[in-house]
């Protein structure tokens, strides 16, 4: 077991799969007690079992992060179980690949609720806890497409751009309370969500993944690599880092704009 998060308690939304799952395991291995939040009950319970098998502490809460009452329940249980909250990783997210003339109002609203409003709900519950504890770290999942646009992803780009600026605004508001707020901007990462994009666009999955790998490092990211970046932002190693949008994309944005 590592020590970078020893004695800390963390909430990870979207923690049952992809980047969230990798972060839950990594945070636990580094000593954190982890509250895994997801709608996928079976996958969430599986990841908590894995945490326990490696000697870590973890709980699972089946919750809809677009519900303010569910977010409150997650926070209340985490405090009951672990005594506080030191790290919040707002990782839950969805994508709908469509232009503004293609996307339905329902899909637009769903992307905004999961990708932006859920972070508002979770931060509103957690920040007062961190203020009382005299500090904490909040990590929001943005995207490279929150900094540069992408084709047929208008709602997703809009939501992730909102996350980047919400992160900066929160860092300003809560810096004097010793609460650091940063966001991660991953590039294409080998997750189920990325593969689902191919289906949404009607493209062959293998071809889509080959295209996703076209960046200076010549490959997609792995969830574990994004989790390592989240660990850095969560840990004391990033004690003077706040308000930043950390790009982890294999160089994908290096030649943009």
DSSP-derived secondary structure for 126-153: HHHHHHHHT-EEEEEE--GGGTS--TT-
Residue-wise pLDDT tens digits, 165-219 = 999 999 999 999 999 999 999 999 999 888 888 798 888 888 888 888 999 999 9
Which residues, 6+ apart, have CB-to-CB distance to 214 below 8 Å? none
CB 20 within 8 A of CB 91: yes
Give the pLDDT of residue 257: 57
Q: Which CATH architecture has domain 9-186+223-247?
A: 3-Layer(aba) Sandwich (3.40)
pTM for this entry: 0.97
CB 91 within 8 A of CB 35: no
What's 14-79 look like in SS3? CCCCHHHHHHHHHHHHCCCEEEEEECCHHHHHHHHHHHHHCCCEEEEEECCCCCHHHHHHHHHHHH
Give the pLDDT of residue 185: 98
Which residues, 6+ apart, have CB-to-CB distance to 211 below 8 Å? none
The residues annotated as belonging to the active site are: 156
Provide the pairing of β-strand 9-13 with 33-38.
Answer: parallel
% of the chain surpassing 90 pLDDT = 89
CB 100 within 8 A of CB 154: yes
Task: Give, in degrees to the nearest 5, the angle at Cα 226 between 221 and 227.
Answer: 140
Residue-wise pLDDT tens digits, 16-45 = 999 999 999 999 999 999 999 999 999 999
Instruction: For residue 218, count other CB atoms closer than 10 A to its CB.
Output: 9
3-state secondary structure (DSSP) of residue 185: strand
pLDDT at 119 over 60: yes
44/38 Cα distance (integer angstroms): 6
pLDDT at 57 over 80: yes
Residue-wise pLDDT tens digits, 135-173 = 999 999 999 999 999 999 999 999 999 999 999 999 999
Backbone phi, psi, residue 241, to 5°:
-110, 115
- In this structure, the chain runs to a length of 257
pLDDT at 100 over 90: yes
Domain ranges of the chain: 9-186+223-247, 189-220
């Amino acid at each position: 077991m590592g020590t970078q998060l020893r004695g800390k308690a963390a909430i990870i939304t979207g923690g049952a799969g992809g980047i969230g799952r990798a972060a839950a395991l990594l945070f636990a291995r580094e000593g954190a007690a982890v509250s895994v939040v997801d709608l996928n009950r079976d996958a969430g319970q599986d990841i908590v079992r894995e945490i326990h098998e490696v000697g870590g502490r973890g709980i699972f809460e089946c919750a809809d992060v677009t519900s303010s009452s569910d977010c409150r329940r997650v926070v209340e249980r985490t405090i009951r179980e672990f005594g506080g909250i030191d790290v919040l990783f707002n990782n839950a997210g969805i994508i709908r690949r469509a232009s503004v003339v293609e996307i339905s109002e329902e899909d637009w609203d769903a992307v905004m609720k999961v990708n932006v409003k859920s972070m508002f709900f979770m931060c509103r519950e957690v920040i007062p806890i961190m203020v009382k504890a005299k500090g904490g770290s909040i990590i929001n999942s943005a995207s490279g497409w929150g900094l540069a646009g992408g084709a047929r992803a208008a709602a997703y780009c809009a939501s992730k751009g909102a996350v980047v600026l919400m992160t900066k605004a929160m860092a300003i508001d809560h810096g004097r309370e010793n609460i650091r707020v940063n966001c991660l901007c991953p590039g294409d990462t080998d997750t189920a969500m990325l593969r689902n994009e191919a289906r949404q666009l009607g493209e062959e999955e293998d071809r889509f993944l080959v295209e996703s790998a076209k960046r200076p490092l010549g490959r997609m990211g792995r969830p574990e690599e994004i989790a390592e970046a989240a660990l850095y932002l969560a840990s004391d190693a990033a004690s003077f880092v706040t308000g930043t949008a950390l790009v982890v994309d294999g160089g994908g944005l290096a030649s943009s704009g």
